[in-house]
Structure 1
Amino acid sequence: MFYGALVWDPWLIIVQIVCLQCLHYLTLGLFLTILVGTRVSRMSLAYYFDFATLTVSTVTGRCVIASFVLTALAGAVYLLFLIERSKKCLDFSVTLYTVHLFICICYGGWPSSITWWVVNGTGIGVMALLGEYLCIRRELQEIKIPTARYCLNV
């Protein structure tokens, strides 16, 4: 896809945000199921959206934190395939976590735990920086152009 100064498609941006948000929560659910689901009798939305579940004082809380960090790492890979531009990685990462903040506020009120803010701030940083790194590596790959010899033989 060609990108330029005049290319601005709001519907594409909205679809990318929705897809990234959905993949984020699907991946978070997968990691929560693997790491936390084996420790608790019943999974609930509290592990996604309640700031009180992000705590370092319990093993389950540390597993929830690990799930959020692993999801941020996976989010960087999603940025590589969905967004494809290193300049946009920070914007989409912050947008994803801002939407998550609003959902958390609706679910359980304003996050008053410093651990919640540190984990989600780290998630933004990891997702944005690793996503930019991966996108830059892809952008700097050499473009293979067939030589004239191959073009004449066709």
Structure 2
Amino acid sequence: MRNRRPPRPGALQTLSPLRILTQIVLLQTLHYAAAFALILFTALAAGKPFSLDLVLSWRSLRGDTTIGWTLGLCWIMCAAAGIISLLLLIARSKLVLDFALSLHVIHLLVTSLYSKAIPRHWLWWALQAVSASLMVGGGVWACRWRELRPIAFGGGAAAAAKGKGKGRDGDEGVGYLVGKGKGRGRDGGGEYEMVGIKDGEGGV
């Protein structure tokens, strides 16, 4: 009987349904919290009454009213804040697309259930497309920037930051220093010196 290959370390934790569900709930909660705060502040500043319809109803997002365009701007700002949430909660560029689209699909369901109808205003659909594109593009860029940051080991981190990636003599690779102190080179051994060869020595 063929032996099964043991799972890769960390694979179960990465693909855990409970962890994915928790991340989705947290991401959705932060998204609505940001929208609630921005829309509440905007309504108070404009002297308009605040209600949940401004947050959860698609009927408030209309292209023929000033309130509709103002709400659209608030949702775009929420998408920008969602990039930070993706960076902190997801932190993996290949998962950003799935989580960002899941967030907007859930928002569609919540909005449809709250309004008891599927959204029919073109501004609402255009806003969702712009918001999803912004979160996917910005989230992928932010997560890749974090993933591609150089990793310094040992005491070479501080030296790399000061020397901007160069050693004492201006050579590259100070970030890979293993030893510190006098008498140690980058490979951890003693320092080396080039010695000239005198005539008559080392002949064949």
State the TM-score, normalized to the length of structure 1: 0.90
Of Structure 1 and Structure 2, the greater helix share is in: 1
Q: CA 1:98/1:139 → structure 2, altered by over 3 Å: closer, same or farther?
A: same
CA–CA separation in structure 2 for the residues paired with 1:60 and 1:52: 11
Paired positions, count:
151
Counterpart mapping for 1:38-57 below 5 A: 38-57=45-64
> Which residue in the other structure is 2:114 paired with?
107
1:144 maps to amino acid: A
**1: CA distance between counterparts of 2:144 and 2:9?**
15
Q: Percent identity?
A: 30
Q: Which amino acid aligns with 2:30?
A: L
For residues 3 and 41 of structure 1, what CA distance do their matches in structure 2 show? Answer: 54
Q: Which amino acid aligns with 2:19?
A: L
Aligned pairs for 1:60-75 within 5 A = 60-75=67-82
Deviation at 1:22, TM superposition (A): 0.4
Higher-Rg structure is 2
Alignment counterpart, residue 178 of structure 2, candidates 140, 148, 152 = 148
- 1:36 touches 1:64 (CA, 8 Å); kept in 2? no
- 2:97 corresponds to which residue? 90
Which whole-Å deviations, capped at 9, do the CAs of 1:52-110 have from their partners, x for residues lacking one?
Answer: 21123222211100110000000011000000000011100110111110011111110
Q: Give 1:49 shift.
A: 1.7
Normalising by structure 2, we get a TM-score of: 0.69
| Structure 2 spans left out of the alignment, 5+ residues | 1-7, 155-176, 185-204
Gaps of 5+ in 1: none
1:4/1:87 CA distance change after superposition, 3 Å:
farther
